[in-house]
Amino acid sequence: MTSSDAELPLLLSDARVWAAQDPDPATSAALAELIRLSEDGVPSARQALADSFSGTLQFGTAGLRAELGPGPNRMNRVVVRRAAAGFAAFLTAAVGEAAPGTAPRAVVGYDARHNSDIFAEETAAIFTAAGIETFLMPQALPTPLLAYAVRALDCDGGVMVTASHNPPQDNGYKVYLGRHAVENSGRGAQIVAPYDERIAAEIGRVGTVESIKLAPAGWTVLEPSIAADYQAAVAGLALSRQFPARDLKIVLTPMHGVGGETAVSVLNAAGFGDVTLVSEQSQPDPDFPTVNFPNPEEPGALDLALATAARVGADIVLANDPDADRAAVAAKDPDSGAWRMLRGDEVGALLGAHVVARLAAGSEGPAGGTAGTAQGVFANSIVSSRLLARIAAAAGYAHEETLTGFKWISRVPGLLYGYEEALGYCVAPELVRDKDGISAAVLIAELAAAAKADGKTIFHTLDELYLVHGLHASDQLSIRVADLGLLDAMMNRLRVNPPESFGGSAVEAFRDLAEGSENLPPTDGLLYLTKDLSRVIIRPSGTEPKLKCYLEVIQSVGSAAELPGARQAARAALDGVLGDVREALGL
């Protein structure tokens, strides 16, 4: 008898107990079938059953996210009910401490993924039964709209049921805090430690699923005006007096997600009337039939959008991921004549410079002066480009680096603009304290139209930044592993045998990010800076079994005529750094 055979009786017993308490007939039936096939000795069924019951899905700073299915290690109604009950207990305690006698308020949103609406409604029922004044979004809507509602409705908490750009079989549970439940700079933002630990502890104290009370009614289904309010606020970001150009032909894809109608309405209201939706991807579809992976960063994800752009003669392609908190941009490169998607760092720099220009246009005089003398802060994650820091400093603004993730970026006090290289941009923190692909699209359209009116493209605008601040070129290397232990092994290898150079340039500064610093909490990662200012950051992914390596090189550029050579030199430098990173990792 193998160890798996010996463990099967206990596994089957746990599965039968789960099936008996499962309120969802679909997952209960799926589990019953897995039990039957496992008893018949089908290896794949035993493996699926073992994985579903291999542990309990852990609640962290990203909330919950996993494959849909039965069992404690999957997303299902039992797991969601327990999470909702635990979060309700946390909110009640937190508000009770901060404002005794005040009833907590919470808002719940959801996207169009499988079971999102069910998870959201049951969350609303559990919150209501716990004495929380609860608002439920009127329909499947973008994540930024939920983040907006937390602030606009003066709520203490918010839940967004979404798995963002994950595969179609996944779903998730993202948590926000506001009003009395969190410190001022985090109101309306995603949770960070120690709030995740406190919520997880409350979830752990929840009793049986039968003990969780669901109110039959009593929550408020919000009027569609909540979406209209968001749309008006975001469209109102456009500065038509200072940036009047609106002659821009846009192709937009919501990637089968919930952002299409909202994004088109916002762009139209901001004055951009020539917007063509990618018809094959325009409607919400939880199966994402036209893409292998519903993430604009993935190869092939923008193929239909680029084909549409070529057909209609578009100036720019804008793409949102399925919950519309990210934005991707593609345009025709004037040098090659080919359409190219811009890297997140390129869009991050363009938006940063445009925000500076908007601030200057809205003030009595031009931006500029001593770094940090202007009010407000620009921020980006530590793995993002250093170009934004130079742009901010030149305009007199302070700049901060944060850990990876918008839960950190959005908490920067005095934030004016923040971004991370993974296509996340926060251009209006006073409205949405999170990344927002729709408000970002408005400002991207505004800067692209302004460039076109001057006879340029966004690539020309980017080159102008390089002429002032140096050409910043970045790349990434992701190493997927089957065994998570390999991530620790590779990180340990680097700590024991630290590289002495990258791309032929000696390492002059090294930081083990696990030790933390005055400005950054500890995180598992290593940062190297070489003599020629090349930077390498290596860290395990927080959401996938990957080791991620972020590379950046800087080339000085004296004139526009030097840009082609500088680009070639930067690419060669990146290739050299990549080779040394692979060697250091033993690949």
The catalytic residues are 164
C-beta atoms surrounding 351 within 10 Å: 24
Identify the bridge partners of residue 327 per DSSP, sorted by sequence position. Answer: 320
DSSP-based three-state secondary structure for 149:
helix
CA-wise closest residue to 242 among 397, 151, 358? 358
Backbone angles phi, psi at 276, to 5 degrees: -110, 120
Identify the bridge partners of residue 319 per DSSP, sorted by sequence position. Answer: 253, 328
DSSP 466-507: HHHH-EEEEEEEEEE-SSTHHHHHHHHHHHHS--SEETTEEE
Type of residue numbered 227: A
Backbone angles phi, psi at 361, to 5 degrees: -65, -30
For the chain, the helix, strand and coil percentages under 3-state DSSP, each to the nearest 5: 40, 20, 40
Radius of gyration over every alpha carbon of the chain, rounded to an integer in angstroms = 25
372 in Cβ contact with 396 (< 8 Å): yes
**Distance, CA of 60 to CA of 66 (rounded, Å):** 12
Q: What angle do CA 572, 545, 500 make, to 5 degrees?
A: 40
Buried residues in 508-524 as b, exposed as e (16+ CB within 10 A): eeebbbeeeeeebeebe
Question: Residue 535 is inside which H or E element, if any?
Answer: strand 535-540
**Distance, CA of 367 to CA of 518 (rounded, Å):** 29
Q: How far is CA 60 from its chain centroid?
A: 15
The residues, ordered by sequence, that sit 6+ positions from 510 with a Cβ below 8 Å of its Cβ are: 498, 526, 527, 528, 529
CA-wise closest residue to 349 among 471, 434, 527, 189? 471
Measured CA distances, 484 to 71, 523, 527, 541, 575 (Å): 22, 17, 21, 11, 27
Backbone angles phi, psi at 523, to 5 degrees: -150, 150
DSSP-based three-state secondary structure for 404:
coil
For 97-156, strand residue ranges (E) read 105-110, 133-136
- 478: region left, alpha or beta (phi > 0 left; psi from -120 to 50 alpha): beta
First vs last Cα of the chain: how many Å apart?
39
Measured CA distances, 447 to 231, 335, 395 (Å): 19, 20, 18
DSSP state of 388: H
